[in-house]
Amino acid sequence: MAARGPNISNVPLTSARRVVLRGPGATELALTVNGQAVTVQVPPRRTLLDTLREALALTGTKKVCDEGTCGACTVLVDGRAIYSCMTLAVTCEGKRVETIEGLAKDGELHPVQRAFIDADAFQCGFCTPGQIMSIVALLRETPAPTEDDVRRAVAGNLCRCGAYPNIVSAGVNAGKRKR
């Protein structure tokens, strides 16, 4: 069987160059958010969620539990769905972050957003940005997901209003649409 990934048997034990120590105060962070390069000042203890909401005024990503147990803060980092409340912003240096605000292009909703409206896949709407981001991540890997695929993708996104059946429909329907 072919080896996957780097060869892990030869990790160099030699020191490279001086390691930069950042913080504890604010430090400059450069990353890409919704396709735009941004630079923000953040202390290392600031989460990506708080950075998005407060420093970048992207309040579409919601804070619900702030401890990785609800999924409302789901965003994509380098194309994969993660919890931004458990991610320190400083670890996202140079990475590509996508939030709910970046989905609609030229005033046109993303197919997943349209599918959510058509399937009535939300009630209060507070979990919705996270649910949508989870499904967007799924569709990039699985363009025509089954109901089970969608369930697995949003099993980490709680909805207290109980819109789940419609969320699953929206995910499946979004896969059937073309942008």
In this chain, which of 62, 98, 111, 145 binds another protein, going by CB under 8 A? 62
Closer residue to another protein, CB minimum distance, 144 or 155: 155
Question: What distance in Å separates the CA atoms of residue 100 and residue 123, rounded to the nearest whole number?
Answer: 17
Distance from chain centroid for Cα 53: 13
Write down the least CB distance from residue 145 to another protein, Å: 12
Q: Which member of 28, 80, 176, 177 binds another protein (CB under 8 A)? A: 80
Between CA 89 and CA 30 the distance in angstroms is 10
8-state DSSP, 148: H
Residue 24 or residue 179: which is nearer to another protein going by CB? Answer: 24
In the complex, the smallest distance separating the C-beta of residue 35 from another protein, rounded to whole angstroms, is 16
* Residue 93 token pair: 């240096």
Hey, CA dihedral for 156, 63, 164, 122, is it positive or negative?
A: negative
| Largest Cα span, the chain | 57
Kindly tell me which residue out of 33, 51, 71, 175 binds another protein, with binding defined by CB under 8 A.
71
d(CA 155, CA 148): 10
Residue 67 C-beta: closest distance to another protein, Å: 5
Identify residues 82-141 at the interface with another protein (CB under 8 A): 82-83, 86-88, 90-91, 93, 99-101, 103-104, 109, 113, 116-118, 120, 122-129, 132, 134
Which is nearer to another protein, 162 or 178 (by Cβ)? 162
Q: Which is nearer to another protein, 50 or 96 (CB)?
A: 50
Q: Where does residue 175 rank: exposed (0-12), middle (13-18), buried (19+ CB within 10 A)? A: buried
Residue list 9-38, contact with another protein (CB under 8 A): 9-17, 19-25, 27
